[in-house]
Chain A
């Protein structure tokens, strides 16, 4: 019982991270029909940016956090403006290779800036771990869960309550129709990139104390976040959250009861199962191209 609870805690923590990364994928996909293979690299930028701003420049935690997220979001918008918008025939395969190129570029840039070492970062607060029926919950895990909840709620409100958010939803439904009723679709795409990469940066910043951030941390995180997004249903906000948490918990239980080596495989086996059985994901809409 105590063991299961411990696995559950670590699963929840990882799951929250996957959820935020998956939301980034999902949001971008719904408003641009594009899967950003460089998304994991933006997570890396968030984590290492956070390390540099706090340890390198000595900024306090909160300004460092917002500065990192804003900076990475700006980088994401720059990426859209320079590498995605100029593409004349945006076919999936061309966009896949461009974003893969961007991920190699960003990884290279990360290596140039931060070198090949891993960094360590102190947790957001010095509280001792909390005991829960014998299982320990790290203070940083609580930070992660709280921040993820706040961010998700904010996003939900943004989509439902603000004019810009509603305009973005309209873009996701039909870009042409949105353009006809006067929504500046180009700006919406730019904004979607900013929000999506900003979410990646949030994920990076909050896990920097519990992983050892390094320039090559992004790829695996990105791929797993992507699996989570598929699992929950690509294009759905709550689907991405659900997918992320389920993946995190399943992975943690897999580590506990099967083998830690096969941990990474769990996400991809799940991905294949979802694709074969229910490609629209748990919460996705049914109009998935499946021949």
Chain B
């Protein structure tokens, strides 16, 4: 039953993507949907770490940035084929995550948050200051479009299908990991790290592994971002960007794959809607963030379900 429901959801998802991809002609909407896809990848990657394994990261934009900068430097400065730059970009993020993860993931709570924050800031400053390689504060221009063999992804429509294809594959991958033995071990860390260790889960190793996996997914999003925009600058990967990813996960609902999709959509669309407020944009954005967390601390999806149950309970009496 569970499996069949899931297949139906996937089918609906695929059909929705295909219909949207063929019917939309507006470049702006396609671009917006591509960004929702990229943000979903980011939210999904952090959700594996934060929602399932319970480890906070306030520096996730660093991996997003590493993915983007590695491919930008390889394809533009060294004329490497984008398809060969992909494993390098993802691999670089994984190696960095592994090296940083081993000491950092020994911390917990606020201290882990601070450690990842510091790491994110250092990587951001590196992008900004190492200007001979990264182009410095003014950014990196002239990144080529993505080519895979005879396929060139230079139109919005083709990129839309590429990004959402990757999103679908990532969702399936995460779903399968979570439903596996490893996934159960991960959730046991979330519920009680010492208890998990006591029943034989190698918590240290597992935490680093999920950190590396999460970094790889974020780097994938960075890779796709660089070849979409053809231009990257350090501002995209700063502290605010890291916090935005955290917000997507929390607002969508932790430990929920479709919540990641929802949170990413909401936080991509919200600034577009808020343009109507022009100067009041930041004030309204901050207020929304605070009120959602005060009144629905388990995220919007869970929050609405909770309210529904409370409503039914009060009416059953």
Chain A contacts to B: CB under 8 angstroms: 35, 83, 86-89, 91-94, 96-98, 100-109, 111-112, 219, 223, 226-227, 230, 259, 261-262, 264-265, 268-269, 271-272, 275-276, 279, 288-291
Contact = CB atoms under 8 A, between A and B. Distances in A.
Nearest to A90: B297
Given A104-B286, A219-B239, A86 B294 contact: yes
Contacts of A91: 297
Interface residues of chain B: helix, strand, loop or mixed (majority): helix
B282 A35 contact: no
Interface core residue of B50, B122, B286 (most chain A CB under 10 Å): B286
Contacts of B117: 223, 268, 271
Nearest to A272: B118
A272 B286 contact: no
Most chain A CB atoms below 10 A, which of B107, B243, B294: B294
B243 A100 contact: yes
A257 B243 CA distance: 33
Given A35-B110, A35-B114, A88-B297, 18 more contacts: A83-B294, A87-B294, A92-B56, A92-B109, A93-B250, A96-B56, A98-B293, A98-B294, A101-B286, A106-B286, A108-B282, A108-B285, A261-B128, A268-B119, A272-B104, A272-B119, A275-B107, A289-B107
Interface string B112-140: 01110111011001101100000000000
A290 B108 CA distance: 6
Contact of B286 (A108, A223, A259, A264): A108
A94 B56 CA distance: 11
Nearest to B288: A101
- Which applies to chain A's interface (DSSP): helix, strand, loop or mixed? helix
B280 interface: yes
B121 to A, nearest CB: 4
21 contacts: A83-B294, A93-B56, A94-B297, A96-B56, A104-B289, A105-B285, A105-B286, A105-B287, A111-B279, A112-B283, A223-B117, A259-B129, A262-B129, A264-B125, A268-B121, A271-B115, A272-B104, A272-B118, A272-B122, A279-B111, A291-B193
B247 interface: yes
A102 B247 contact: no
A265 B107 contact: no
A87 to B, nearest CB: 6
Contacts of A262: 125, 129
Contact of B114 (A87, A94, A230): A230
B113 A97 contact: no
A102 B283 CA distance: 9
A101 B114 CA distance: 18
A108 B239 contact: no
Nearest to B137: A261
Interface in B187-213: 193
A236 B285 CA distance: 34
A271 B246 CA distance: 21
A43 B41 CA distance: 36
Q: Which of A94, A105, A111, A227 has the most CB of B within 10 A?
A: A105
A94 B293 contact: yes
A112 B280 contact: yes
Contacts of B81: none
A267 B205 CA distance: 29
